[in-house]
Amino acid sequence: MSWPFELYTPPDDVGEDDLATMFGEVRSFLATLAAAAPGSTEIEALTADLRAWRERLAPYLTDDEEAPYGQLNLDHEHGLASLPESTIESESAGSVDATVTFSRWHLGGGGTVHGGQVAMALDAMMGHSQIVGGWIARTAYLNVSYLAGTPYGRPLRLEVRTTSSTGRKHQLSGRLLDDATLLAEAEALFIRVARYPGAPDGTSAGLPEAG
């Protein structure tokens, strides 16, 4: 990724909506794969298909600046299929309320979501809370306390709040809840490094408003 950071611009014949749909299908495929138990014949056929898809993409390998994965400006997920599916319920500078739904692809031990996946979801929404305020911010540290096993397959509530701000340093807190059950809570320090491209002071960084 180039620096200073610039928004990804797809080629004229490629729609950002189409890219987002494709990455969404990748996430859906992984969720289905993790929940399936195919027989040997189907495993062999699927493996051949996957190998063919990889070989089909090989001529299009490119550098970081030209690869759209993780750089879409269409929505808060930026096309990251590795993140759990999420919906923003409300947002303002430094604050986000969202729902996230993990799939079996995010599974860890004991039939619950892997702790690293929980941390990634919290970190992503904390970063988004900074973009909403028009800033690119880096995670300086993220401390997560796990209070209960995180289930997959149903919407969970994720909350982010700013607890204090000093110059470029912003202390954030985050919570992941299943109804009234607190699953995980986090505290983090984010350092603002640059204005988000195209976001004048007081704007929501040009992203679509939460519905």
Q: What is the mean pLDDT of residues 84-99?
A: 95
Q: Write down the pLDDT at residue 106.
A: 97
Check whether 59 has a pLDDT greater than 70.
yes
Q: What is the mean pLDDT of residues 130-143?
A: 94
Q: Write down the pLDDT at residue 195.
A: 87
pTM: 0.89
Q: Please give the span between the terminal C-alpha atoms of the chain, in angstroms, as a whole number.
A: 30
124, 190 contact by CB (below 8 A): no
Q: What is the mean pLDDT of residues 118-122?
A: 98
Check whether 210 has a pLDDT greater than 80.
no
Q: What is residue 159's three-state secondary structure? A: strand
Q: Write down the pLDDT at residue 207.
A: 46
As a whole number, the mean pLDDT across the chain is: 90
Q: Which candidate, 176, 174, 187, 188, places its Cα nearest to that of 137? A: 188
pLDDT band at residue 179, thresholds of 50, 70 and 90?
A: very high
Describe the strand order of the beta sheet including 95-101 as a list of residue ranges.
85-92, 95-101, 156-166, 169-178, 181-195, 135-146
